[in-house]
Amino acid sequence: MAVRTTCGGGAAGSVRWLIVELTVTRVAFEDVLIAYRDSGAAAGHLDSEVPVVLVHGMGGDGHTWDRFAAQLMRQGRRVIIPDLRGHGRSAHTDSYRFPEFGADILRLCERLGVEQVDLVGHSLGGYAVSWAAMERPELVRRLVIEEQPLPLRSGDEQVTFTRRLPSVPELWHAGTSVLRHPRAVLAFDRSMTGAALEQFRKPYPEWWEGLSDITAPTLFLRGGPGGMVDPAKLDHMRTALQDCTVRVFTCGHSIHRDRYREFESTVLPFLGH
């Protein structure tokens, strides 16, 4: 695929600007308007590779993936980058249930006519891609989950979780996100926060039971002390999945942002071609 090199900053910078300039398309589903960018559509090679769908976390938008998407494009991969409902250029809506984020990803894949995808999801995006892989295991070739805060497995965990205050790493991540991506934060539907917290505070046995339906080889990326993944729950998840590899990093919640080179060197070989 030809890559424009008209902007400054060298080849990597040029590719990154190409990603930023991709046309934003909006597609209407029954209950929400979803915005996305598609490098395959821009390059005219819709069927040349298994597409990679990159799904951002809560409070962000698809531009968090620009650097990684540029590298994937350099390797000839088609990259699809949606904004989740209530984020970025997608519409706000009345409902923000975790399965609905996954359903939006599946509906987008169906609308684009892709028969197989690699899914990469960060944080809330981890819920979206894992749910999609449960519902349509034949669709997903590779699954990458980065720092998804794992849900409660039983009511015994609820008291500890609901009394817990935000940690310093969580507050730091939120604060730096505002500074780095003010546009995404301004577009974010803040009414979603309450719905998300309500879901985090309740056991989610359906999600745990659905893990056994995922057939795609799965790579789970966990941050270090500043992350948001409970290691004990992660052990349960690794056991429930048919094929799961865990990689631990020393940074906090946003590995692809704060340890990009390590993220790239781990994820690119896993995705392959």
pLDDT at 162 over 50: no
Answer yes or no: are the C-beta atoms of 48 and 74 closer than 8 Å.
no
Task: Please give the mean pLDDT across all residues of the chain.
Answer: 84
pLDDT for res 174: 45
pLDDT for res 198: 86
State the burial class of residue 158 (Cβ atoms within 10 Å of its Cβ: 0-12, 13-18, 19+).
middle
Predicted confidence band of residue 155 (pLDDT cuts 50, 70, 90): low
pLDDT at 231 over 80: yes
| Structural domains of the chain, with CATH | 24-271 (3.40.50.1820)
* Location of structure tokens 């946003």: 254
pLDDT at 265 over 90: yes
pLDDT at 7 over 70: no
Beta bridge mates, 143: 119, 218
| Dihedral sign, Cα of residue 261, residue 85, residue 135, residue 43 | negative
